[in-house]
Structure formats: C-alpha cells, structure tokens
Amino acid sequence: MMEIALIAHDKKKDDMIRFVTAYKNIFLPHKLYATGTTGKRIMEETNLPVHRFQSGPYGGDQEIGALIAKNKLDMVIFFRDPLTAQPHEPDVSALMRLCDVYSVPLATNMGTAEVLIRGLQKGDLAWRSITRGETKND
C-alpha cells in the first residue's frame, strides 16, 4: 500500500476529479490524503476514503509537507494552475522542494500523473517501501 497526496488548485479541481475517477481502481488499495476542498470533492464524487487536511492556503500544503519530511508519503499528485497567482505560493514551492529532498515522486500535471499512476499499477514504485525503512515483513 502506498500513501498518496492529491492536491489541486481551484481551476484544476475538475481535472483532479476526472483523473481520480478514471483511475479509481488503481487508487482503491492505497491510502489517500488531500487538501480540504479537493479531498471533499474526491470523497463525494468517487466514494474513495480520503484523509483531509486544511485547505492549501490555510496550511494544508504545509501539513502534507510535514508528512513528506517524515518520509510518510510515497507520491504527490498536485495539479497546479501555473497561470493564476496563488497567495500561498511560498508553501507550494516548499512542498515541491521537499519532494525533491526526499525523492518523493511528484506530478504537477495530468500527463506526468498518468505516468506515475501507471507505474504505481505495475509496481514500479515498490522502492518507496525501502526508502521508508520497511522490510517484506512489515
């Protein structure tokens, strides 16, 4: 089981819902985390369980960043809106930087997210359990 964070800026929430709906069966066995409204919509529209944090501008990005810093997340799918200024842009940058520091796969658009989700389906992300210090008996 992988631990996956799902985040979407306002103009990208519909894309996130379509993406999670399309790959619902792949997401089903994994633990999902999301920022406020994104998580609520995913739960309502897919019936998948999601651990919800605060909305991004109210600290949700930082809460997810804390999980990354503790090496508790295996993948982040963050549909960013690059054309709209975000009031919490420093938090967004910090989250992306943490993914780089801890080698957490990060997709910021649907094309890359699809590559990651297909890799997840094939078991290509099993190396994450090693980076978390898990063994086959865990």
pLDDT, averaged per 10 consecutive residues of the chain (138 residues), comes to 95 97 97 96 98 89 94 95 77 90 95 96 86 58
pTM: predicted TM-score of the whole model, two decimal places:
0.91
Q: Please give the Cα distance from 13 to 37 (Å, whole number).
A: 9
Within a domain: 136: no
For the stretch 100-121, what's the b/e string if a residue is b when 16 or more beta carbons lie within 10 angstroms of its beta carbon? Answer: eebebbbbbeeeebeebbeebe
- Per-residue confidence (pLDDT) for residue 134, from 0 to 100: 62
Within a domain: 77: yes
Catalytic residue from among 10, 61, 74, 91 = 61
Within a domain: 137: no
Q: Tell me, yes or no, if 61 is annotated catalytic.
A: yes
- Total domains in the chain come to 1
Within a domain: 63: yes
Question: Model confidence over 92-119: pLDDT tens digits?
Answer: 889 999 999 999 999 999 999 999 999 9
- Per-residue confidence (pLDDT) for residue 57, from 0 to 100: 80
- Per-residue confidence (pLDDT) for residue 83, from 0 to 100: 81
